[in-house]
Amino acid sequence: MASLDYSPPTIGRPGRHSLIAKWASRSAILCIASLAIYTPSGAREPKSAATYLPATPFSIVDVIPPAPVVGDPRYEADRAIFLETRALQNSNRWRLATRDVSEKPGDLLRDFSCAAGLSLTPEKAPRLTALLVAAAADTARVNNEAKNRFQRARPFKIDAGPICQPAAEVTNSYDYPSGHTTRGWTWATLLAQLLPERAAPILARGRAYGESRIVCGVHNASAVEAGRLSASTTLTVMQRNPRFQADMRTALRELDLLKRRGSANALACGPNEQIIPSIFAPRHLPEPVGP
């Protein structure tokens, strides 16, 4: 597999890092907090469910911050990030964002394969696929409550700029929180729980999947941050569901079998495909001096 460099080129004016750096520092906390503990049990496995939380015992709008509005510093930060990241158009990172538009299970499994160190497809891992699809249906439903409550316009409707997918696909839906990010972080969190030895690259790919929506220009940075928090909240509540636990055990056995088959499912990926750099990572900065 050819190695691509997804590191974003330097954007914005030299020395201008404050808005992006502040956003990146805040959002990093959510990445660490999202790994809810999966506790397997020896109980008899119940039948798999289409979803795990048919009745959600909480309101996500009580958990995530309200969407930014005019006069909120986050509103202006979102606008600045949108305008600066338009410079990424036609870069490798833009092409990755375009590829990340798809939410099809087969495409998502492909997207996480390098990070997982395994060639994953719905045919090779049907039980894993069913688990991820069912959990993502729950996190999406919960997330949509906030979308419908806040009804925030997407960034390209506030400021002009190119986007990486047809506007007709997103123009009649809302920005905050990002549904793509919620789905990607759901998949990343569960895959990291099932493959803890690959947690860092898997979670980095989940973070990059959300950042692709910023690069694409169809979600604000605050919407991506809220999407991760939304997914983490719902997954935390989901952890003790017996059907969820049973499906996690089944998916774990399926992955163990794929790993035992060794080279047939192994992948050789370049470093920038295993851990995709964040678009908010400072580049070309002086090395720190002193202790």
Give, for all 291 residues of the chain, the pLDDT tens digit: 445 566 665 555 444 444 554 555 455 444 444 444 444 433 333 344 588 998 777 999 999 999 999 999 999 999 999 999 999 999 999 999 999 999 999 999 999 999 999 999 999 999 999 999 999 999 999 999 999 999 999 999 999 999 999 999 999 999 999 999 999 999 999 999 999 999 999 999 999 999 999 999 999 999 999 999 999 999 999 999 999 999 999 999 999 999 998 766 666 677 666 688 999 987 634 445 544
**Burial environment of residue 283 by CB neighbours within 10 A (0 to 12, 13 to 18, 19 or more):** exposed
Positive or negative, the Cα torsion across 100, 106, 108, 112?
Answer: negative
Encoded amino acid at 152, one letter: R
**Burial environment of residue 280 by CB neighbours within 10 A (0 to 12, 13 to 18, 19 or more):** buried
Distance CA 56, CA 122 (A): 28
| pLDDT digits 0-9 by tens, 165-177 | 999 999 999 999 9
- How many other C-beta atoms lie within 10 A of the C-beta of residue 277? 17
- SS3 call for 176: coil
pLDDT at residue number 5: 64
Q: Which two tokens stand for residue 40?
A: 């397997």
